[in-house]
Amino acid sequence: EAGVAQSPRYKIIEKRQSVAFWCNPISGHATLYWYQQILGQGPKLLIQFQNNGVVDDSQLPKDRFSAERLKGVDSTLKIQPAKLEDSAVYLCASSFRTGAGELFFGEGSRLTVL
Amino acid sequence: GENVEQHPSTLSVQEGDSAVIKCTYSDSASNYFPWYKQELGKRPQLIIDIRSNVGEKKDQRIAVTLNKTAKHFSLHITETQPEDSAVYFCAASGAGSYQLTFGKGTKLSVIP
């Protein structure tokens, strides 16, 4: 089966610019997650969707980050305006259902903010 | 919220030796504990997981143990091979939230 697809793989922007990342989960997976992985650290959950509804966005910096999952399939994560500390890999993951089980990660989108 | 501590941050072993990585968690209600392996530049992938109603689980050269009383769990890799070199992350998921909190990772190097 096809895995979780993400794009772009790499993005370099100046601070205060905006950027958007796209994720297409595994077909049939109802739950989608966006994680931020700063170099040398473990993934940190930003937002969790169940179908097209938000389950948890408590760790999403809402003054600059936004995410949506239209029609309960693809998702986009946007950062505007970007800060230097946003430099990280943004990982999208999906799972078949909400509940304790395996997450399938995409390859990630590496963001560098100069 | 949940807090997961992972040790050591780096680990070097000779090929064929065993490797042990330890994690502690703070939320006594957590009930799911997966381990992910992330090779350089690649996506994290699940290698083994354990639920709170089980004390130990094995899959070939990999085993995970869980001590609910002490709130810690460990990954054991026996007969290490160079392809085991990667960063390993432990995680914990609380009852009800199902959200994974990850440790900071252990970089394992297996020296041929």
Rounded-to-integer distance, Cα A95 and Cα B22, Å: 26
- The tokens for B28 are 């006594």
The per-residue DSSP string of A30-41 comes to: -EEEEEEE-TTS
Q: How confident is the model at residue A1 (pLDDT cuts 50, 70, 90)?
A: low
Q: What is the pLDDT of residue B53?
A: 84
pLDDT at B97 over 80: no
Closest chain B residue to the Cα of A108, Cα to Cα? B43
State whether B34 and A102 contact (CB < 8 Å). yes
B22 three-state secondary structure: strand
DSSP-derived letter for residue A87 is -
Rounded-to-integer distance, Cα B68 and Cα B30, Å: 9
B21-43: average pLDDT:
94
Give the closest of B44, B103, B105 to A105, CB-based. B44
Condensed to tens digits (0 to 9), the pLDDT of residues A59-88 reads 999 999 999 998 889 999 999 999 999 999
Give the closest of A4, A99, A108 to B98, CB-based. A99
> How far off is chain B from A42, nearest CA to CA, in Å?
4
A19-29: average pLDDT:
95
